[in-house]
Structure 1
Amino acid sequence: MKPGAIVVQIHTLISLTLAVLICGLAMWRGDQPARWIGAAFLASWLGSQLINQRDSSNADYGLLAIDIATLVVFVWISMRTRRLWTVLVSAFAAIVVASHIAVMIDLRVTINTLKASMAIWSYGILACIAFGTWTAGRRRDHAPS
Structure 2
Amino acid sequence: MIHVTLVEWYGLGALLLVCMLAVWRGGVPERRTAIVVALCWVASVIVDNDGSRGVQWAILSVDVLLGVWLVIQALTCNRFWLMVAAGAQILILLTHVGFALTPDMMQEGFFSAYYIWSYVVLLALALGSFLARYQVPS
Q: Same fold (TM over 0.5)?
A: yes
The answer to whether 1:26 aligns with 2:22 is yes
Q: Which has the higher helix share?
A: 1
SS of the counterpart of 2:30?
helix
Using structure 1 for the length normalisation, give the TM-score: 0.84
Once the 2 structures are TM-superposed, how far is the Cα of residue 29 of structure 1 from its aligned partner?
2.5
In 2, the alpha carbon distance for the partners of 1:88 and 1:109 equals 26
Which of 50, 54, 59 lines up with 1:58 in the alignment? 54
Using structure 2 for the length normalisation, give the TM-score: 0.88
Q: CA RMSD, aligned part only?
A: 2.1
Moved more, 80-89 or 49-58: 49-58
In 2, the alpha carbon distance for the partners of 1:109 and 1:71 equals 23
Q: Which amino acid aligns with 1:123?
A: Y
Once the 2 structures are TM-superposed, how far is the Cα of residue 96 of structure 1 from its aligned partner?
0.4
Fraction of identical pairs, as percent: 22
Structure 2 unaligned blocks of 5 or more: none
Q: Which amino acid aligns with 1:26?
A: A
Partner in structure 1 of residue 6 of structure 2? 10
Once the 2 structures are TM-superposed, how far is the Cα of residue 139 of structure 1 from its aligned partner?
4.3
Moved more, 37-46 or 111-120: 111-120
SS of the counterpart of 2:53?
coil
Which of 50, 73, 98 lines up with 2:69 in the alignment? 73
Matched residue pairs, number? 135
Q: Deviations over 1:15-67 (max 9, x none)?
A: 10110110122133311111121111111111111111134422100000000
Q: Considering Cα pairs closer than 8 Å and 6+ residues apart, tell me whether 1 or 2 has the greater RCO.
A: 2
Structure 1 unaligned blocks of 5 or more: 1-7
The answer to whether 1:107 aligns with 2:103 is yes
Q: Could you list the runs of 4 or more consecutive aligned residues of structure 1 that deviate by over 4 angstroms after TM superposition?
A: none
Partner in structure 2 of residue 135 of structure 1? 131
In 2, the alpha carbon distance for the partners of 1:83 and 1:118 equals 24
Once the 2 structures are TM-superposed, how far is the Cα of residue 137 of structure 1 from its aligned partner?
2.9
8 Å contact 1:56–1:111 — kept in the other structure? no
Partner in structure 2 of residue 87 of structure 1? 83
